[in-house]
Amino acid sequence: MKDQERHIGETIDPISKVSAETSALARKHWAQPSFFNDNLLIDALLKHILSLMPYGMTDYGEVMDVVYQLSGSDEEAWVNAWAALARRLHNRAEEADGKGKHVTAASAYLRASTYWRCALLYFSDFADTRMREYAVASADCYQRYINLSGYPGERIEIPYEGSFLPGYFYRSPHAKGKAPLLIVTPGRDTWAEDTRWVCEGALRRGIHCLTYDGPGQGLALRLNHLTFRPDWEKVVSPLVDFALEKFSEIDASSIGLMGLSFGGYLAPRAAAFDKRITLCVTDPGNISWGRQIIAQLSRFHDHPLDEIPEQMRNLVRDYAWKHGVPNTIKDVVQALQPYDNSSILDNVTCATLVLDGTGEVFHGAKSFHDSLKGPKEYLLFDETSTAQSHCQIGGYATATEYIFDRIAERLGCA
């Protein structure tokens, strides 16, 4: 891989490029209007949920019906609206399943699974029994979907420090002989099932895929009570061990690791220590996640939690829960201090694809790319690509076309 930069969306002809850039500045882009201007997290979550439509995981009318039931940042309104929709589809799926209508049942189970998870995406009452109930319902619906649809996946449990990490192994129907493996690490808020757009891009190009809930994520957090840890190589290396031992169809010399959002920060740490990883994809690149969040919290370090803005208060509670520390700014800041990859970047010797977007909320992908010493490529999505938002939300089809042709080349599937 040559050290190169690519701007996705740019026009090659210089004259056309000037015209396109002028036009881009003069008009609005799809990502600018917001569902809720006063809550950027809810806005991002809703756009992600809508982006899952091409994969049969959501439907526009269902999602928008929930949107019109929401009331600002009211958590109960969020949880109840999504849970009611999930329950309705879950019941429909079971009725169809009982009548032998397996196509209908599989379709409804898949969307019900998504909506059960949606109910938990914006919910900070971590002791509420619905946390476990809805998480189990989501996993159950997704498993039933796989069983009925014939989708080439299977649920797996990766042994991990006296417990296990839940996940899925997807076999590519296009693989010939031993084929590459892509391991996908979700972000702080999404689950293994939510990475389907990534897995689809891999499977269609002859690459097997393993996606999982690591400590602090999805079912690993809500069922097994596992919290985040900074030494992520201790998470990924057991995954590689498990995959190579269990699935003989994997080419051990061609293993990629892709991280989304917070996972984009975690992936290089694993690649620095496990040299079986031959390609690292960071979406977006990030040198120090801890430094960025600590900077946001530093303005409020002398304030009691009940005196800081609601969004920041919820951020502190969420980080405290997922990192297993007391619910204070001081403890969260202390927990985030080790989340800094500055000292290990020289150890990332595998090929690295660094993704970025002009609408990205976490800045620093370019400086991350420039700090790498090994083979690397920087890929920037701009407004005209329609995939400029955080982790290409809203532009998954475009992103897949550009990202996965590169991944296939690097893993030997071109």
Q: Catalytic amino acids? A: 261
**Identity at 215, one-letter amino acid code:** P
